[in-house]
């Protein structure tokens, strides 16, 4: 049975969230390499711990493609240890940068592809799933590809009352909002902020800026 998505006002939702939280400067980074490192290191980790690991890379002056491709793996492991699963993440990060350095030399050259071509190549790399690939596409390669994460899936299910998989939800959101890089970046950040503050595993509906749209809240209110 086909889902009825006619009531999905993503533009209206973004307007309400942006009015509540303001413009959110995501992804805070000084370079494309930093975004890539953050996207890989943040898997199953708090951002605070990732920041510590990234600062270690900066302090060691290795936060660039060439240095991370050539660095001793054990040394890289020690630098990214605060992010957790450090052996796995160090290997994935080194493999990523090694791939870029050997084939393209720089991230700029690597990112000089269409979104579709780049996404396929990213997904072939170890440890790069859809969310990581799309985060790299959006925030490092600066291509308008909407990132779907656990917050987005949860929020959409509660607000609009249906579940979608990653690809279908991505297509739906991209079809309903303007294809603009700054909008895609900020809207994803708004979903994250809403998920952290209100739409948690155990939701805090009182005061939630999205409550005007939310089927979950309206259903619970009627049942009281």
Dump pLDDT digits (tens) for 72-100.
999 999 999 999 999 999 999 999 999 99
pLDDT band (50, 70, 90) for residue 171:
very high
- More confident site: 17 or 27: 17
224 pLDDT above the threshold of 80: no
**Contact (CB, 8 A) for 145 and 181:** no
Average pLDDT, the chain: 94
- Measured distance CA(217)–CA(143) in Å, rounded: 34
Tell me the whole-structure pTM to 2 decimals: 0.94
């Amino acid at each position: 049975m086909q889902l009825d998505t006619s009531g999905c006002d993503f533009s209206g939702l973004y307007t309400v969230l942006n009015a509540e939280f303001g413009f959110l400067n995501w992804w805070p980074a000084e370079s494309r390499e930093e975004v890539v490192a953050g996207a890989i290191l943040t898997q199953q980790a708090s951002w605070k711990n990732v920041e510590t690991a990234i600062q270690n890379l900066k302090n060691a002056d290795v936060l660039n493609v060439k240095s991370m491709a050539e660095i001793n793996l054990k040394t890289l492991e020690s630098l990214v240890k605060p992010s957790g699963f450090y052996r796995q993440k160090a290997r994935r990060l080194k493999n990523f940068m090694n791939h870029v350095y050997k084939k393209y030399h720089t991230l700029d050259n690597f990112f000089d592809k269409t979104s579709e071509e780049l996404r396929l190549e990213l997904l072939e790399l170890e440890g790069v799933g859809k969310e990581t690939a799309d985060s790299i596409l959006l925030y490092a390669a600066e291509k308008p590809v909407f990132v779907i994460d656990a917050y987005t899936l949860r929020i959409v299910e509660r607000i609009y009352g249906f579940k979608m998989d990653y690809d279908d939800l991505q297509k739906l959101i991209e079809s309903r909002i303007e294809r603009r890089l700054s909008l895609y970046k900020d809207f994803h950040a708004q979903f994250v902020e809403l998920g952290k503050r209100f739409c948690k595993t155990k939701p805090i509906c009182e005061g939630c800026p999205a409550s005007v749209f939310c089927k979950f809240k309206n259903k619970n209110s009627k049942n009281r």
